[in-house]
Structure 1
Amino acid sequence: MVRGAIGFGALAGSLVLLRAVGPASLLLAPIGLVALRGCPMCWAVGLVETVSAGRLRRSCTEGSCTLRRA
């Protein structure tokens, strides 16, 4: 949780402070990426899986899969 707060805080801060501080605020971005340790696509997939956990069910019949609400 702490690593996530530091990582996302640094990434958000680098964008929010861009107008006030200028390009120097972008130095926070690598700090955020190091704190999160991973690839952005993996974070996005993990977030989608967490949000949809228990809400969607996959059913596959006769070679065709569909998503439906649980």
Structure 2
Amino acid sequence: MNTVNLVKPAQSEKAPAQSGAPAMNFASKSVPRHLARGAIGFGLIIGSIALVPVAGPATLLAAPLALIAFRGCPTCWMVGLAQTISRGRLERQCVDGVCTLTKAHPATDAAHGPAADSDVPAASR
């Protein structure tokens, strides 16, 4: 007699729910915080190069610390700046394999809550 294994094959872990929004890998919580990270990163790079004549080549060891502030490279920092600024203001819409960026609808803007009519006083809403 041939026995067949009727056990269900192991399934991979559940994938996180896709919200349709691209991952914000490089964005910061706020624009001032992101600009501060940039100032630290660029300051470390410029300072380490500028101090070579004064303190010697050991100052170049500070330059790699800028990679921590940039979360990668200066280009990564600039991508993060664009993501931080546009967070909640743009949304990607894909129809039939063609994706476009459009202005987010105020009602779906999670950062600012539901849309409010500016003409209507708050007491009558």
TM-score band w.r.t. shorter chain: 0.5 to 0.7
Task: Give identity over the alignment, percent.
Answer: 49
* TM value normalised by structure 2: 0.36
- Select the structure of larger CA radius of gyration: 2
| Number of residues of Structure 1 aligned to a counterpart in Structure 2 | 66
Q: Please state if 1:44 is matched with 2:78.
A: yes
Deviation at 1:9, TM superposition (A): 4.1
8 Å Cα contact 2:94-2:100 kept in structure 1: yes
Q: How far 1:61 moved relative to its partner?
A: 0.6
Give the superposed CA RMSD.
3.6
Structure-to-structure mapping, 1:4-19, within 5 angstroms? 4=37, 5-10=39-44
* Structure 1 residues without counterparts, runs of 5 or longer: 18-26
Mapped to 1, the partners of 2:95 and 2:103 lie a distance apart of 16
Name the CA distance, whole Å, in 2 between partners of 1:12 and 1:53. Answer: 30
- C-alpha spacing 1:11/1:63, structure 2 compared with 1 (3 Å): same
Distance 1:47 1:37 in 2: 10
TM-score normalised by structure 1 residue count: 0.53
Q: Which has the higher helix share?
A: 1
Shift of 1:44: 1.2
Q: Tell me how far apart the structure 1 counterparts of residues 87 and 65 of structure 2 sit (CA, whole Å).
A: 30
Matched, 1:66 2:100: yes
* CA-CA distance at 1:55 after TM superposition: 0.6
Higher strand fraction (1 or 2): 1
